[in-house]
Structure 1
Amino acid sequence: MPAPDRMHRPLKVNSISRTVMHMSHSTDTDFQHLTVPEGRIAYTDAGAGRLVVLVPGMGDLRATYALLTPALVDAGYRVVVTDLRGHGDSDTDFRAYGDAVTASDLVALVEHLASGPAVLVGNSMGGSAALIAAADRPELVAGVVTLSGFYREPVSPAVSSLLRLVYRVLFARPWGAAVWSWYVRSALSKGRPTPDLDARIALLRETFSDPAHLRAFRRLTTALDHRETEARLPDVRTPVLAVFGDTDPDFSDPESELAFARESVGAEGVVLGGVGHYPQLQAAGDVLALLLPFLASATHRSGADA
């Protein structure tokens, strides 16, 4: 496994248009919907080949993978990017939120696409959900890549309960969208520059200024509990790649989280230098340098097992 954690290579992708980072979910008409219990999940589908499903984290949108998607398509993969329930172009009237129900959405999506097993790539809680999906349905998951993913709850139950009360206030109207946009910019994006950060923040603020989207986001923040992911780790048998950033405020000790991922699921992985909570944006070149060999190995192994 290469170790790019102190490398700052330029992004090596082919002619990524800056307009991709400006994509608005209100004008992007290329998405499709999958009906699951309680509502519909939105996703885009590009390319041909072995299936890779990209999953955003809490409070994020499909555009978070704008730098990885074209490179993966060019590398010969079918790349599906999904919105979380309650986010983007997915329906906003779901009642249940969290890692486990998101995992069930991923399982339903891979079954619907009928070209698995898939490698699931998830940022933040998207990675947590991917781990549960791998535990639940190993025949559908060839591998899991977590980008700043949670393998366990980072705070105590008491602190977690307190945070839920805080989130109810922080993410209420009329200030909720502004608070979340500020936090993404000021805390979660610390470190290396994020391409087109202003456009990214504007899109997030516009999205969560919608009362229905903000309400769904708030429900997720008050329901999320990564202990349900930790409980399923003994059942994960698929290959796992874990990527963390050393300036990510969600992890007080990213090296310790990587060690836990290695011990609990046998993950390969690195901690990237100067990277916050969004490696897919802040260090897309480094992520691709890790991701492409992992995809080749995981999909080759799943093909040999078929």
Structure 2
Amino acid sequence: MNVSYLERGTGRIAYEVRGDGPLVVALPGMGELRSAYRFTVPALVDAGYRVAVMDLRGHGDSDDGFTSYDDVAAGTDVLALIDHLGQPATIVGSSMGAGASVWAAAEEPTKVTGLALLGPFVRDPQGNPLMPFLLRLLLTKPWGPAAWRAYYRTLYPGRPPADLTEHLARIQQSLRRGDHWRSFVRTTRTSHRPAEERLGQVDTPTLVVMGEKDPDFPDATAEGRFVADRLKGELLLVPNSGHYPMAEYPEIVNPALVRFLDRVHGRG
């Protein structure tokens, strides 16, 4: 692994790049690492794409100490990375990273050639108004890390990847680094309203990938259809999958991503 760093004024964003060809930038969701795309990157590189994967602020190898950790902050980071790498990019965003991707595409449309949104949060969850308070209580130390670990496992209701235990250990190790736990908790307080407000401003090819059993949504299929309809995009529903379909069923998601990228770039 060859980690590089992008200076962002009050801290650095960690990223790594593999492959050659049109640029794809992938960003994970809150509490995740760029290795969320460990099954995705090889397929995209083999298909002839240059793939950059980044850590969110206060996650993985990125720094703490930022003043904001929300969708807009992550969106500015991905646009800065696109500028740094020197060519427009298709953005692949998972979970909260999808909201950041939508914001970025609306903010700088000439820099974004397409969007692939996986388990996307592009609006605030519909449901219990007490949930933000309950989430803050759940993530309070000393029980917070164990609670997050237990919850994270529920996000793979179908066929968890064989290395899930090792991946979760990497996440837990990351959350113990520096002030990462505090950064993570601040990230959980993100509102996705800035992304929702800009859905109508996005005019770029879009693929939405949603696990049909994603426990983060009361009705994952309906949420996937909402996002795809608002963005005039294509919807791929992955049976039995949860919040990370690219890790549970890469044999379904990877070919769809490659086909989408090839269409965006006129390759097929």
Report the TM-score when normalising by structure 1: 0.84
Inter-partner Cα distance in structure 2 for 1:123 and 1:99? 12
- Cα separation, 2, equivalents of 1:208 and 1:177: 8
- Establish whether residue 88 from structure 1 lines up as the match of residue 60 from structure 2: yes
CA distance in 1, matches of 2:69, 2:7: 16
Q: Deviations over 1:31-55 (max 9, x none)?
A: 1010114211100011111001111
In 1, Cα distance between equivalents of 2:12 and 2:244 = 26
Aligned length: 267
Q: 1:299 & 1:175 partners in 2: Cα distance?
A: 47
State how far apart, in whole Å, the 1-side matches of 2:228 and 2:63 are. 36
In the TM superposition, residue 175 of structure 1 has moved relative to its aligned partner by: 2.5
Per-residue deviation at 1:296?
Answer: 0.8
Structure-1 residue corresponding to 2:170: 203
* Cα offsets for 1:219-278 (capped at 9, x unmatched): 1112x1112111000110001100101111111112211221232110101211010000
Which residue of 1 is the match for residue 90 of structure 2? 119
Q: What CA distance in whole angstroms lies between the structure 1 residues aligned with 2:101 and 2:248?
A: 21
C-alpha RMSD of matched pairs (Å)? 1.5
Q: How does 1:1-306 map to 2 (within 5 A)?
A: 28=1, 30-115=2-87, 117-155=88-126, 159=129, 162-185=130-153, 187-210=154-177, 212-222=179-189, 224-300=190-266
Of 213-222 and 249-258, more deviation after overlay is shown by: 249-258
Shift of 1:84: 0.4
Query: In the alignment, residue 84 of structure 2 is paired with which amino acid?
Result: H
Contact 1:68 1:280 in 2 (8 A): yes
Inter-partner Cα distance in structure 1 for 2:120 and 2:209 = 8
Aligned residue identity for 1:77: Y
Q: TM-score, normalised by structure 2?
A: 0.95
Q: Does structure 1 conserve the Cα–Cα contact (< 8 Å) formed by 2:209 and 2:237?
A: yes
Q: Which structure 1 segments of 5+ residues have no match?
A: 1-27, 302-306
Aligned partner letter, 1:71: A
Q: Deviations over 1:128-171 (max 9, x none)?
A: 11111111111000000000011221225x71xx3333333322
Measured in 1, the distance between the counterparts of 2:174 and 2:96 equals 19
Which consecutive unaligned segments of at least 5 residues does structure 2 have? Answer: none
